[in-house]
Amino acid sequence: MIYIIGIGPGDKDGLTIEALDALKECEIISGYEKYVELVKKFLPEKFFLAYPMRSEIERCRHALKISQKDGKKIALISSGDAGVYGMAGLMLEAAKGTGEDIKIIPGVTAANSAASILGAPLMNDYVTISLSDLLTSWELIEKRLTAACEGDFVICLYNPASRHRTENFKRACEILLRYKSPETPCGYVRNIKREGQEAEIMTLEEIKDCGKIDMLCTVIIGNSQTYILDGKLITSRGYKENIV
């Protein structure tokens, strides 16, 4: 049996009850080394398999072997939700034709967690776009950014920058500025619900050059209905009557 589990932001309080119960049931917990370290803090008695970045296919193959040959229950973990830029799809593909019993346990996404810290910026239609061009071409990412602007969506950016992708976030903001006002409210959260959490609200023009955006950040770019109230981002739902 393989459980594909979204662990949310990574702390115990951010887990769903279903996710925590599934982790407790499994004999082995497998995942990216940084996520493994987060789970070890509250389930130290478990046996863990920790992998480096970009070892996703190896994780899936090893999980299949453990489940089918050793007959053990194994959890394959992802931060946020395993079905959002996580391990769920890859594991289902890897298990094709094996008859393996796979159960997917949802988790709180980075978009939802970041939004709760910044205020309520996802109150209307929004999209999530990853700026990682490891598996998706930059040309296609640009098309998605442009389409999101044309639809006036709030945009949640995953994987905005890394040591090897230092310019992608700035390039993305430059595309957004072709369609959005430089004063568009935005915000980012680093280390969501973890030690060292940091959050800041600013304009689109400011966030483009703020220099603080990295792989530990989730960025939310407002739409034409997003505004700042008492230091919080809010995107209007469009109610006809004013609440105040």
Which among 127, 124, 121 is positioned nearest to 146, based on CA atoms?
127
CB 87 within 8 A of CB 76: yes
Report pLDDT for 223: 98
Report pLDDT for 240: 62
pLDDT tens-digit map of 156-181: 999 999 887 889 999 999 999 999 99
- Please, what is the Cα angle at 55 between 43 and 84, to 5 degrees? 70
How crowded is the C-beta side of 29, counted as CA atoms within 13 Å? 29
In the chain, alpha helices (H) = 17-25, 33-40, 56-69, 88-94, 110-118, 138-150, 168-176, 204-208
The model's pTM is 0.93
Q: What residue ranges define each of the domains in the chain, with the CATH number in brackets?
A: 2-108 (3.40.1010.10), 111-235 (3.30.950.10)
Report pLDDT for 6: 97
CB 107 within 8 A of CB 16: yes
Q: What residue has token string 């809010």? A: 234
- The yes-or-no verdict on residue 72 having pLDDT over 70 is yes
- The yes-or-no verdict on residue 44 having pLDDT over 70 is yes
Q: By percentage, how much of the chain surpasses pLDDT 70?
A: 98
- The yes-or-no verdict on residue 242 having pLDDT over 70 is no
Q: What is the DSSP letter of 70?
A: S
Pairing of strands 119-120, 154-158: unpaired
Q: Any residues with CB less than 8 A from the CB of 19 and at least 6 apart, and which?
A: 5, 6, 7, 8, 105, 106, 107
Report pLDDT for 27: 96
pLDDT tens-digit map of 192-227: 999 999 999 999 999 999 999 999 999 999 999 999
Q: What residue has token string 């939802």? A: 112
State how far the Cα of 168 lies from the Cα of 149, in Å rounded to an integer: 17
- The yes-or-no verdict on residue 244 having pLDDT over 80 is no
* Average predicted confidence (pLDDT) for the chain: 95
